[in-house]
Structure 1
Amino acid sequence: MESLLDVFRAVADPSRVRILLLLDQMELSVGELAVVLGQSQPRVSRHVRILAEAGLVSRAREGAWVFVRLSGRARPVMAAMRALGDIESIGAEDRARLAVVRAERAVAADSWFAAHAEDWDRERSLFSREADVEAAILAALGDRPLGDLMDVGTGTGRMIELLGPRAETALGIDRSPEMLRLARGRIEAAGLRRAEVRSGDMFSLPGIDGSFDTVVMHQVLHFADDPPAVVAEAARVLRPGGRLLIVDLAAHDREALRSERRHVRLGFAAAQLSDWMAAAGLRAEVAAHLPAPEALAVTVWLGEKIAGETARVVRSVA
């Protein structure tokens, strides 16, 4: 009974209902919630603590940021509130402000990528030896044909250059015109006639459901403000039996990368990303972990789409 009363007390405050509605859109940091709500960070932290004590949200610290997500317990509570009244109207203005926050973040990231396009290959090698990473990628994919390949966040096109010769077709997607210009030059120099690059967004990939055999994301996901949504979108375009390969940083505490290199997430725990893949209908495994004593460790995840599986809600996954 006391647990149930904690839930009722938690949702009795309009600000906390607004927080739940925002988290129903995506995982957010406490600072981002404060900006959207127009409240001080200590006040928002108090609201989040109350929601967490009621079991409605969970918190995860990454460096100096604390990310907040809905828990599984919040789903029936929110469904009950929606059945009793129009709670969506409470958060309409918040959703509009959230869209502005996300757009401003995207503009800042695009500007950074435009300024660093020429140095992108060197940038990625700062974290671990790129030769070791590429060897791990090839080992994870094995000798199986790659079929129709998509490289999400293709950057300068290195993954297309590496994997394109083994694919029936290859498509590189990136939002940065400067990156795409470099990628086109690289693909042309490699003589890959069945490969192309195109402007696109990792949250809304080109192609109908089940149109690719292999999707690759190399050092891309830590730039995403909603990583589970990116994983689910990649799974959407995979054919049954298709594979998603994700290469990214292991969890770390280098807070400076947020401001210096526009990282949104400070890497990922092995189980965290595997859970997101599983939630998107993929049979997931850690294919390789590359420790780097003097740099940041890199992990390679591989997921295979299970025939008949559908993605489930992943915002509550820690």
Structure 2
Amino acid sequence: MNSALAIFRALANSTRLRVLALLRSMELSVGELAQVLGQSQPRVSRHVKILCDAGLAERRKEGSWVFVALGGADTVGPVLAALDAWEAGDHWGVADEARLAAVRADRASAAAEWFEAHAGEWDAIRSLHIAEEQVEAAMAKALGDAKLGCLVDIGTGTGRMLELFAPLAGQALGIDRSSEMLRLARAKLSERGLANAELRQADLYALPLQDGGADAAILHHVLHFAQQPGAAIGEAARVLDDGGKLLIVDFAPHDREDLRSRDAHTRLGFSDEQILGWFDSAGLSPVQIETLEGGELTVKLWLGRKTGIETKEVKAA
């Protein structure tokens, strides 16, 4: 009864109803909500707090920004169903959707400017190995066509893995420490309309998921930045359910020391023995190893499955 009272009190305000409607479309920062609603940030923050206290919304801090998303489905679902049944349309909804389109455009513009400024850095790395399209095709083949359930992309960066694989997942979660990267990813996911994908700022050594909460996890060109690769793999394994898959994509051992000094690569690639040793320590059974040559750097794929069900013999390609 107390929970129902808090929900109805929270909804007894036109601005908070508008906020709820906006969050159905996309996760928004408090500043973006203020922009769409035409209200001050402190005022919007007060409305957001009331919604969060009622469980209708959640706040996530990323650097100096605070992003707001819908609350848990158990609480929000019945409320949204009721609002849909009662909805007769109003001028606020039309105006808010128009201003929301402007927010999407601003995000896309900021992302384009960042990529233009950093394109040389990305191109320099990509020129050293096989085309990214071939890497992504190999990843898709390794993960298969079956639904992925809950997918976690660890070190999501600009959200490319979510863009590729979220359509196969019931729920997709992108994790990154960089608030700047998450803003770029958010712009991309918004453009693609991937409603089942969300983003969280967190450390790869402390993922914001419960034990066994995910069915698949990806570490795509992330591990060579890690100070403790074994710990990162162990944490990824922790959040996988029995039978869950971990796909690692990274470089084979190489001697490009300039990548360490220029691009902050902590590790200059990994051997099969290293990865399989970490798999074993984390309770993962190797399923597939693939080598993609073509360039100065060789790309490797390692697919592991969390033990607890029978696994197939490891395949090398």
TM-score, normalization by structure 2: 0.58
Structure 1 residues 125 and 230, CA gap change in structure 2 (3 angstroms): same
Question: How many equivalent residue pairs?
Answer: 195
Matched with 1:218 is 220
Identical-pair percentage: 50
Tell me what 1:281 maps to: 283
Please say which structure displays the higher CA radius of gyration: 2
Distance 2:287 2:182 in 1: 31
Counterpart position of 2:37: none
Shift of 1:176: 0.8
Query: 3-state DSSP class of the match of 1:185?
Result: helix
Counterpart position of 2:266: 264
- TM-score with structure 1 setting the length: 0.58
Deviation at 1:144, TM superposition (A): 2.2
Displacement after TM superposition at 1:198 (Å): 1.1
1:238 aligns with 2:277: no
Asked if 1:296 corresponds to 2:297, the answer is yes
Higher relative contact order by CA 8 Å / sep ≥ 6: 1 or 2?
1
The equivalent of 1:125 in structure 2 is 126
2:150 counterpart (148, 151, 173): 148
d(CA) in 2 for partners of 1:227, 1:248 = 12
CA shift in 2, pair 1:287/1:139, >3 Å: farther
Q: Is the 8 A contact 2:152 2:214 kept in 1?
A: yes
CA contact (8 A) 2:146 2:168 kept: no
CA distance in 1 between counterparts of 2:261 and 2:118 reads: 19
Residue in structure 2 matched with residue 189 of structure 1 by the alignment: 191
Matched, 1:136 2:141: no
**Cα 1:129/1:148, change in 2 over 3 Å:** same
**Unpaired runs of at least 5, structure 1:** 1-113, 310-318
Please give the secondary structure, in 2, of the residue aligned with 1:206: coil
CA distance in 1, matches of 2:207, 2:117: 21
The list of structure 1 runs, each at least 4 consecutive aligned residues, that deviate by more than 3 angstroms after superposition, is 114-124
Tell me, yes or no, if the aligned pair for 2:151 and 2:173 is still in contact at 8 Å: yes
What residue is the counterpart of 2:250 in the other structure? 248
Contact 1:215 1:238 in 2 (8 A): yes
Cα displacement (A) at 1:193:
0.2
CA-CA distance at 1:275 after TM superposition: 1.6
SS of equivalent residue, structure 1 residue 181: helix
Q: Summarize deviations over 1:38-67 as a string: whole Å, max 9, x none.
A: xxxxxxxxxxxxxxxxxxxxxxxxxxxxxx
Conserved in 1, the CA contact under 8 Å of 2:159 and 2:189?
A: yes
Given the superposition, is the C-alpha separation of residues 124 and 152 from structure 1 closer, same or farther in structure 2, using an over 3 Å criterion? farther
Please give the residue correspondences for 1:1-318 in structure 2 after superposition, counting only pairs within 5 Å. 118-119=118-119, 122=123, 125-126=126-127, 127-292=129-294, 294-307=295-308
- CA distance in 2: counterparts of 1:115 and 1:227, whole angstroms: 28
Distance 1:275 1:266 in 2: 17
Taking the aligned partners of 1:134 and 1:237, their CA distance within structure 2 comes to 24
Which residue of structure 2 aligns with residue 56 of structure 1?
none
Indicate conservation of the 8 Å contact 2:287/2:305, yes or no: no
Residues 259 and 247 from structure 1, CA distance in 2 versus in 1: closer, same or farther, beyond 3 angstroms?
same
CA distance in 2, matches of 1:190, 1:124: 26
Unaligned ranges ≥5, structure 2: 1-113, 311-317
Distance 1:179 1:167 in 2: 22
Query: Could you tell me whether the CA contact under 8 Å between 2:243 and 2:309 is conserved in 1?
Result: no
